[in-house]
Structure 1
Amino acid sequence: MTSSPVTGVEPVLSEDQIAQFHEQGYVIVKGALSREEADHYRRSIVSLFPPNLDLPATWGSYEGRIKPMASADNHTFDTPELLPLMTNEKLYRAASQLLESTALRVLDGSVGITFRNDAHPDQPLSQTLHIDASVPNSVDDFTFETRELQVGGCYYLTDVEPNGGGIHVVPGGHKIVEAEARAAGGGGRHLHQEWKQIKHLQSIEVTGEAGDFALLHHLMPHGASHNRKATTRIAYFVRWVREDQTWGVGQKPEPGRYDQAQLDAMGDFGRKLFGVEDW
């Protein structure tokens, strides 16, 4: 285990894992949850489905992939039952190592459910490769600074075997994005339709066990894949940014954003992560 570059944070990632993240753009954090915890949260997410299986009109359904929505314009499920997934201390420590700061904000909280899909047997991906860039579309270029960086990805709440609907990534893809953006000489943020339609790169599937977390650089091209297995893949997505993130993503929430039940579920540590209290 390496020493942490951030004072006061017990390291989670080894020197080799940090090197892998910087070189490949992703790393697997093994055992972010126990198998029992993963199954608990899996069952909590399954309970989101209506008993009659009639999907709400706001939910997305594409090629066997279900995207639940908390409301029409909100994908975040930060209920007291699921909120602990966003305050996982092991993942916070890993994110702190990569972001080189202890003052972080936690984001996302979305859910992805991928059923078995036998269609398109020659196509591994059910979604075009893209990046979830932290730079607004109104900005022409990335800064490529640590302050701009977002790190995040998904918990696997089920075992994900090959061809089991695992997230696809492009090894070293974050470096390819940076090189192409820099070569554009201005306007690099706008390439490939704001990097939402990346069709010239090849990806691999990231497998894992229930409780593992796939942690990605925010410039990593990635996409959902078809699930050819009987096991329904259930994932929960979380991101971390620095409090002083370049484009303001780490700002405090508006007053009253969270109710008392959510605040209680956060605990002292979580209230700092969500920006309710100061670090």
Structure 2
Amino acid sequence: MTITDARPVLSTSDLEQFDELGYVVVKGALSRAEAEHYRQQILSLVPPTLELPATWGSHDGRIKPMYSAGNHTFDTPDLIPLMANPTLYAAASQLLGSPKLRVLDGSIGITLRNDAHRDTALSQTLHIDASVPNTADDFTFEPAELQVGGCYYLTDVEPGGGGIHVVPGGHRRVAEEAKAHGPGGRHLRENWKRIEDMESIEITGEAGDFALLHHLMPHGASHNRNPTTRVAYFVRWVREDQTWGAGAKPAPGAYNTHQTEAMGELGRKLFGVDDW
């Protein structure tokens, strides 16, 4: 698949589900062999002594590696292809209504089995990861503001296996509440980082699937009660003309030769190295 001949990935029913529920699972974004390759790449980041770097997060069995202090993006040549996946680019283009996109995030989540806190499925408060800065008072709800993103499952995620939790239709509830509040809707619920009165469900899937969410979707990490360690890689897309500037071009020299070679033609445009 090239940039110019990308065919629709999401069916009419997929698009309807995304509009109504705020999420869709893109099946087989990677083959099982590819998912296993990237799983091994990510697990190789964990020190064999299990002495985690001080900058890494570790909460209730969920490990969040950090590339450096304050930087969670792993855009190394080995992992960059995950951010330039043509199938997911095509799906994001359908949802964002533009072929000219930028790619963001590149963070990692490793969720070990955790036998504690049996009274709750969630290990994280429901929240949203909107591409709207906290300094803004309100969402615009315009297409150019929209962000879509989520995570690759690089392992099979069965029920209770640490899958991402979402609130079906929650993106609409967030929008309705913010609009009804009037000015300052962006700042409700601690800038929408603490949503405690909505019921969520777990998204399960197979290795290679991608859980794709609307940027106003309340979501959260969950406890893994199963032996299989869940390994996930997170990616987000915005339009090049994103309202709040998330699609801005990178500073000159932000990426080295090895990174740009790993990006390929599509990736160089998604990362803003080349013009669309």
Shared fold (TM-score, shorter chain, > 0.5)? yes
The alignment's TM-score, normalised by the length of structure 2, stands at 0.98
Q: Residue 210 of structure 2 is aligned with which of 209, 213, 225? A: 213
Which of 248, 255, 258 is the matching residue for 2:255?
A: 258
Partner of 1:232: 229
Runs of 4+ in 1 over 6 A off after TM superposition: none
Q: 2:15 aligns with which of 2, 15, 18?
A: 18
1:183 partnered with 2:180: yes
What percentage of residue pairs aligned between the two structures are identical?
Answer: 73
Q: In structure 2, list runs of 5 or more residues that go unmatched.
A: none
In structure 1, runs of 5+ residues without a counterpart are 1-5
Match of 1:89 in 2: 86
**What is the aligned-residue RMSD (CA, Å)?**
1.0
Per-residue CA distance 1:74-118 (angstroms, 9 max, x = gap): 000010001100000000000000000000000000000000000
Q: What does 1:62-81 align with in structure 2 at a 5 Å threshold?
A: 62-81=59-78
Deviation at 1:185, TM superposition (A): 1.2
Corresponding residue pairs, total? 274
Out of 38, 42, 50, the position equivalent to 1:41 is 38
SS in 2 for 1:139: coil
Q: TM-score, normalised by structure 1?
A: 0.97
Tell me the residue number matched to 1:3: none
Per-residue CA distance 1:126-151 (angstroms, 9 max, x = gap): 00000001111111000011100000
Show CA shifts across 1:39-81 (max 9, x none): 0000000000112110000000000000000000100001000
Alignment of 1:158 onto 2:155: yes
- The residue number in structure 1 matching 2:106 is 109
- How far apart are residue 9 of structure 1 and its match? 3.5
One-letter code aligned to 2:102: R
The residue correspondences of 1:193-212 to structure 2 (distance < 5 A) are: 193-212=190-209
Q: Does 1:223 align with 2:220?
A: yes
Whole-angstrom distance in 1 between the partners of 2:248 and 2:165: 30
Q: Which amino acid aligns with 2:112?
A: F
In structure 2, distance between residues paired with 1:259 and 1:124:
41
* Cross-structure match for 1:127: 124
What is the SS of the residue equivalent to 1:91? helix
How far apart are the structure 1 equivalents of 2:231 and 2:266?
A: 26
Secondary structure in 2 matching 1:106: strand
1:275 equivalent to 2:272? Answer yes
Instruction: Report the CA distance between 1:7 and its aligned residue.
Output: 8.4
| Pairing 1:54–2:51 present | yes
Q: Which has the larger displacement, 228-237 or 260-269?
A: 260-269
Match of 1:18, SS state, is: helix
